[in-house]
Amino acid sequence: MTDTISDAVAVGRRVLSIEAQALTQMADELGEAFARAVQVLHDAKGRIVCTGMGKSGHVARKIAATLASTGSQAMFVHPAEASHGDLGMIGPDDVVLALSKSGEARELADTMAYCKRFSIPLIAITAVAGSQLGQAGDVLLLLPDAPEATAEVNAPTTSTTLQIALGDALAVALLESRGFTASDFRVFHPGGKLGAMLRTVADLMHGQGELPLIGEGAPMSEALLVMSQKRFGAVGVIDAAGALVGLITDGDLRRHMDGLMTHAAGEVMTKGPLVIGPHALAAEALKVMNERRITVLFVVEAGRPVGVLHVHDLLRAGVI
């Protein structure tokens, strides 16, 4: 059994090494054609139509999904279905991104002819520059001459990894050229943990009417009452102008246990508490809480408290 495990690990490492070397080679060879492809995609007034047959088709679907989730209008069209009516889904303002390792997938022939007939830009991703697809492309993104990880069987392994990585590179370059931000990304990812992480603090915080606040001169008896009523385990201390100047937590209470009730809130509070803005991402709030080992963050805008966020709010929202 030990030898079997060892052999399997050796195979896995060999495959990963072969594919890693191919990715490095592609990165080194990336040049002007890639920049032109990004520009063509950027300038497209319509959609980015991704297409491919077999394993390349699966990759094309993934690339379309990545582009769509990062702000580009993108979709997948199956080349065989395109030949039976779905070519009508491709408009004159679209750009076609076609994938085929050999560049000779016969199912792509009608799509290539359609692009030529209606002057629709075609970006070709293939390993053979002289292939039908390679010659038909207005922009050719040539995959490096790298061996598949299954040399004897020659099954698509390295080549599909290269296609996926190149699609990711195009998507990232495109989103950066458009100034696509995390806030934009959140619009397309409202569900699941990713959507929760991309929600803002303002989406999750408790607002006015729920804030545990007292003035600097308030007696500690009042501070304890507010802490008990609001149930956040903390109370914010504000000055006469309404600005947040301090925070009282259970730790502050323990440090001032002797003669606690003889003090005012301003004497017990921790000055200059850690705060966060309402437009910060929930993921950022979680990071702050984890790093500082705290459970409550006051949300401040222009120095004034506008909300409060508890770690339980992040838990309920699925951020944790």
pLDDT digit string, tens, across residues 173-217: 998 888 766 655 655 555 565 566 668 899 899 998 899 999 999
320 vs 315: CA distance, rounded Å: 5
186 assigned to some structural domain: no
258 vs 13: CA distance, rounded Å: 64
The predicted structure's pLDDT at residue 179? 73
Residue 162: which CATH number? 3.40.50.10490
27 vs 25: CA distance, rounded Å: 5
DSSP 143: P
71 vs 287: CA distance, rounded Å: 26
CB 203 within 8 A of CB 231: no
86 vs 80: CA distance, rounded Å: 9
Contacts of 216 (CB under 8 A, 6+ apart): 237, 238, 239, 240, 245, 246, 264, 265, 266, 269
Residue-wise pLDDT for 80-126, tens only, equals 999 998 999 999 999 999 999 999 999 999 999 999 999 999 999 99
Beta strands 296-301 and 275-276, pairing class: parallel
41 assigned to some structural domain: yes
Say yes or no: 167 and 253 in one domain: no
Residue 284: which CATH number? 3.10.580.10
189 assigned to some structural domain: no
172 assigned to some structural domain: yes
Tokens matching residue 29: 């060879």
pTM of the model: 0.66
- Rg of the Cα atoms in the chain: 29
Nearest residue to 126 via CA among 157, 86, 166, 81: 166
Say yes or no: 127 and 165 in one domain: yes
192 assigned to some structural domain: no
Structurally, the chain folds into a number of domains equal to 2
User: CB neighbours (10 Å) of residue 299?
Assistant: 25
279 is in an annotated binding site: no
With a cut of 50, list the residues of the chain below it in pLDDT: none
The predicted structure's pLDDT at residue 178? 80
Query: CA triplet 194, 199, 201: central angle to 5 degrees?
Result: 140
Say yes or no: 52 and 104 in one domain: yes
What phi, psi does 237 have (nearest 5°)? Answer: -115, 125
221 assigned to some structural domain: yes
The predicted structure's pLDDT at residue 192? 60
Say yes or no: 28 and 117 in one domain: yes
Say yes or no: 170 and 216 in one domain: no
The residues facing 300 across adjacent strands are 305
17 vs 26: CA distance, rounded Å: 14
The residue segments making up the domain with residue 300 are 198-317
